Amino acid sequence: FLDEDERLDDCPFCTNAVIRNVNASYIFYCDHPECGKVSCLICRKACPKFEDDYATDELIAEMEKHFICAALADDKRELD
């Protein structure tokens, strides 16, 4: 059902799933009206939402963890 350049990504917090390009970000923005969470598709944990242009140091540090997840995605896929 999926083309070579597509993957099925699902929200770790609800039943929503979306077909996306294989090169799409590993940060998932759920568009389900009852969920709406932002999550990392590698570690399957919630990511902080930036409500305005100014994030706290804690929010930035938390988001940087998920950028590390993305950098290690290929290694995780091999282990899975």
User: pLDDT tens digits, residue range 22-73?
Assistant: 999 889 999 999 999 999 999 999 988 766 667 788 888 888 888 888 888 7
Token digits for 58? 């804690």
User: pLDDT tens digits, residue range 59-80?
Assistant: 888 888 888 888 887 777 766 6
Helical segments of 1-80, H only: 57-71, 73-79
Which of 15, 44, 41, 43 minimizes the C-alpha distance to 28? 41
Domain ranges of the chain: 6-79
What SS3 state is found at 49? coil
